[in-house]
Amino acid sequence: MSDNGPSAERDPRPSPVRRDRRTRVRRRLLAGGAVAVLVAAGLLAYPRLSATDPTAGEPAARPAAGCTSPSPSDRVPERTPREDSGQHRPAEESGRPAPAGEPAEPRPHELKPTTVTTIGQAYYCILDSYYRGPLLDSRSLLVPAFAALTQELQRRGLDQPQAALPALTGGKDQDWAAFRQVYDQITDRLPPDAAVRQAVAEATLRAMVESLDDNHATWRRSPRRNTTGIEVSAHTGPGHVDPTATPPLFVTRVAPDSPADRAHVRPGDEVLAVNGVPPYVNGVLAEGALDWITSSPEGTRLTLELRRPATGATVTTTVTARATEPAPRPRVEARPLDDGLGYVRLPAFAPGLADQVLEAIADLRKTADLRGIVLDLRGNGGGSPREVSRLLGALAPGRIFSYWCDVRDHCIPNRGDEGVAALDLPLAVLTDRGCASACDSFSSAVKDLGLGTLVGTRTAGAVAGPGELYPLDDGSLLSLPRYHEIAANREVIDTIGVAPDHHVPLTSADLSAGRDPGLRTARKLLTD
């Protein structure tokens, strides 16, 4: 089968009718991006995007301020593959919106109270801009949101006898009007405490977004930062809890000069307890303990009881959480290995890093006759689809490595950049549960297209689709995928991950002793 998808076998050269259909599909996919730019410029109010919306023509009941996308200056400049030839053109020339798998942060916004207007913005933004929005039933958003509201009231001892949601109809404007009326009645009876009102609003909005059950649909008021410098084994990608996590919980990385580093916490240390609380109870992860370890408020003192596998010793230490500066821009690490191989670690698919990988390999070739490359993607939480295309261009120029699809499963392909010099070296790729999003996408391409060998553990499976950031009126940010992604062989990677060709886990004992069985296996595969 050709890399152009299943239809290529039947007719590699599309008929005029099929080309016309492709054009219509592309225009439908582009509509969201074009509208977002006009909205950001203040030239257009946020519209309904789907002509198939069953509630079209209903009287508007929207918040006064609509959900808007970041202005182009707030985004990382991107280039995207052309569907017809595989060549790259700037997004503004091709007419297709720039990809944003891990959306670039827009300029900071001043935080204001989250209100029912903010919740309404998010509601309509999801229905208008989320890839499944045209087919979503409004009740699937509003019922979980209201349930979370009442649960927050109960937790605070503030439940109210009239806090009940009337029967909804599925009409998005009428349902929103009914929801807002009850929400206003409830909040009018709350105590005049700004913290309580904020907590109720946050619980409501967060539950609405979480009801999408999409790893790239998120809402946040401020960046979530690691305040201890500890990364642990129970996470997949950037901060998601791994549903496959099993005891023991152990440290996978300690940031240099972090509170944990100063407290002599080391990779491989197994966490027996944090402030006396075990991280696993009857084999079930205690997520509160996990949050304590990685994202406690500044000034929080954590007493960690650790077991160090290399020595068998139990160590107790105190880590004081502190606010940290944003992480420095990630950089590629490269070094020659003593068996004629090159080792390159890519920590993220951040803008410019694909070229850094290729430059690092070129530099290694100047000093040695390379027999192959080990590319380490462990802990790579993702980044820009452009960087995936760029790096794959050195391995599979012009070949389809994934598809972006709308809610009707009309798909457009992503191709390897044809403007990159060929790598032409055997490749082994190290993966783990921390390899997420764009890293999932790259790993699936390596496997599907036969570009190399995957060694390690299954990737995170956090590749729902390329996201877009939308600022809300309280200064918070809503991230929503505008398409969903499938892999080159049209298989689903999201929530599943990419299985390695050679399963080689990295254990706490390996980390503590300084061993790397994945790298050892990759070297053996490349030299045998």
Cα–Cα distance for residue pair 126/124, rounded to 1 Å: 5
Among candidate residues 361, 270, 345, the one with its CA nearest the CA of residue 307: 270
Cα–Cα distance for residue pair 413/2, rounded to 1 Å: 13
Could you tell me the two tokens for 145? 């949101």
Among candidate residues 232, 272, 296, the one with its CA nearest the CA of residue 432: 232
- CA 486, distance to chain mean position in Å, is 15
- CA 246, distance to chain mean position in Å, is 23
pLDDT of residue 108: 55
Residues 6+ apart with CB under 8 A from 191: 158
Enumerate residue ranges in the chain where pLDDT < 50. 1-61, 64-65, 70-105
Cα–Cα distance for residue pair 186/497, rounded to 1 Å: 43
Sign of the alpha-carbon dihedral angle for 361, 362, 365, 370? positive
Length of the chain: 528
- CA 268, distance to chain mean position in Å, is 26
Cα–Cα distance for residue pair 346/332, rounded to 1 Å: 5
DSSP letter at 291 equals H
pLDDT of residue 98: 34
Q: Which strands form 400-405's sheet, in the order they lie side by side?
A: 411-415, 400-405, 484-487
What's the pLDDT tens digit per position in 98-137?
333 444 445 556 899 999 999 999 999 999 999 999 999 9
* pTM for this prediction: 0.81
What's the pLDDT tens digit per position in 2-57?
344 433 333 333 343 333 444 443 433 333 333 333 333 332 333 322 222 333 33
Q: Which helix (H) or strand (E) holds 341?
A: strand 341-345
**In the chain, helix, strand, coil percent, each to 5?**
30, 20, 50
